[in-house]
């Protein structure tokens, strides 16, 4: 898919009221930073920008008032429901330089341990890598079919594309197949004596009637 060049406008006004007006007009707010230059508030056509990002674009091509450049999508902020992007942080980049980014992990297949009563635990959903801007993977896919009960997949087990270097701790757990502990009812718990009713008052001595004062 050929990358779209997005038209960007500089924002001369900031603040909550201005942001609301921009969003109501179908604009996505963003800020450009990096390479020792001053941060630059801009806005993009929300539909076009989101379309690019939904297709996996990690670098956006922008035309900012006649000047074109490539910008890395560094962070995306969502609304209170976590569904609609409302702000994007973009970093100035050189296509020949390496960057550090987080890439999502996609698990594929059904672990062998599931048939044994196990449950797949996806502990880490993304890892940090370093690579050229042009080589940032959309996702890192890994098969978990071979995982039996008690088996663990670590970050160092991931197969990364050529030129992509893992920065996350190699021993970080990505996924594991664990066995659910069987529930034990209180009556079945071993090693517990049945509770004795509490006795209130003085126990009668030998030869003494329970009814005596």
Do 88 and 17 share a domain, yes or no?
yes
Whether residue 126 is predicted with pLDDT greater than 60 in this model: the reply is: yes
In a domain, 27, yes or no: yes
pLDDT of residue 84: 83
Whether residue 106 is predicted with pLDDT greater than 60 in this model: the reply is: yes
pLDDT of residue 183: 47
Q: Which of 62, 93, 124 is the last residue of a domain?
A: 93
Do 17 and 89 share a domain, yes or no?
yes
Do 89 and 106 share a domain, yes or no?
no
Do 115 and 178 share a domain, yes or no?
yes
In a domain, 11, yes or no: yes
In a domain, 83, yes or no: yes
In a domain, 205, yes or no: no
Q: What is the rounded CA–CA span in Å between residue 210 and residue 204? A: 6
Do 58 and 121 share a domain, yes or no?
no
In a domain, 199, yes or no: no
- pLDDT 10s digits, 4-56: 899 999 988 878 888 888 889 999 999 999 888 899 999 999 999 999 888 87
Domains in the chain: how many in total? 2
Q: Look up the domain containing 168 and give its range.
A: 101-182
User: How deeply is 128 buried, as exposed, middle or buried, from its count of CB atoms within 10 A (0-12, 13-18, 19+)?
Assistant: middle
Percent of the chain scored above 70 by pLDDT?
A: 84
pTM assigned to the model = 0.66
CA pseudo-torsion sign 46, 50, 53, 57: negative
What is the domain-level CATH number for residue 115?
2.170.120.20
Whether residue 180 is predicted with pLDDT greater than 80 in this model: the reply is: no
Q: What is the rounded CA–CA span in Å between residue 130 and residue 51? A: 25
State the chain's mean pLDDT as an integer: 85
pLDDT of residue 190: 55
Do 107 and 153 share a domain, yes or no?
yes
Percent of the chain scored above 90 by pLDDT?
A: 51
In a domain, 80, yes or no: yes
What is the domain-level CATH number for residue 80?
2.40.240.10
Q: Which of 74, 93, 112 is the last residue of a domain?
A: 93
Do 18 and 53 share a domain, yes or no?
yes
Whether residue 112 is predicted with pLDDT greater than 70 in this model: the reply is: yes
Whether residue 213 is predicted with pLDDT greater than 50 in this model: the reply is: no
Q: Which of 61, 79, 42, 80 is nearest to 4 (CA)?
A: 61
In a domain, 70, yes or no: yes
Do 89 and 152 share a domain, yes or no?
no
**Stretch 100-109: mean pLDDT, rounded?**
93
* Structural contact between residues 104 and 128, judged by C-beta atoms closer than 8 angstroms: no
Top mean pLDDT of 155-159, 179-183, 206-210 is at 155-159
Strand pairing of 173-179 and 152-154? Answer: antiparallel
Q: Which of 93, 113, 136 is the last residue of a domain?
A: 93
In a domain, 196, yes or no: no
Q: Biggest alpha carbon distance in the chain? A: 110
């Amino acid at each position: 898919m050929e990358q779209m060049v997005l038209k960007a406008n500089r924002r001369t006004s900031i603040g909550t009221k201005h942001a609301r007006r921009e969003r109501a007009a179908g604009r996505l707010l963003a800020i450009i930073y990096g390479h020792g230059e001053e941060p630059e508030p801009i806005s993009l056509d929300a539909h076009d920008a989101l379309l690019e990002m939904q297709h996996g674009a990690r670098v956006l091509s922008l035309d900012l008032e006649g000047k074109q450049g490539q910008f890395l999508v560094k962070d995306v902020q969502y609304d209170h429901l976590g569904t609609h992007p409302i702000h994007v942080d973009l970093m100035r980049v050189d296509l020949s330089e390496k960057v550090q980014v987080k890439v999502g992990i996609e698990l594929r297949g059904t672990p062998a341990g599931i048939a044994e009563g196990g449950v797949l635990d996806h502990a880490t959903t993304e890892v940090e890598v370093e690579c050229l801007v042009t080589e940032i993977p959309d996702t890192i896919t890994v098969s978990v079919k071979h995982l039996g009960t008690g088996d663990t997949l670590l970050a160092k087990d991931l197969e990364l594309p050529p030129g992509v270097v893992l920065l996350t701790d190699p021993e970080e757990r990505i996924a594991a197949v664990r066995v659910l502990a069987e529930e034990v009812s209180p009556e079945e718990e071993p090693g517990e004596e049945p509770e004795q009713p509490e006795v209130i008052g003085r126990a009668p001595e030998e030869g003494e009637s329970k009814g005596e004062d």
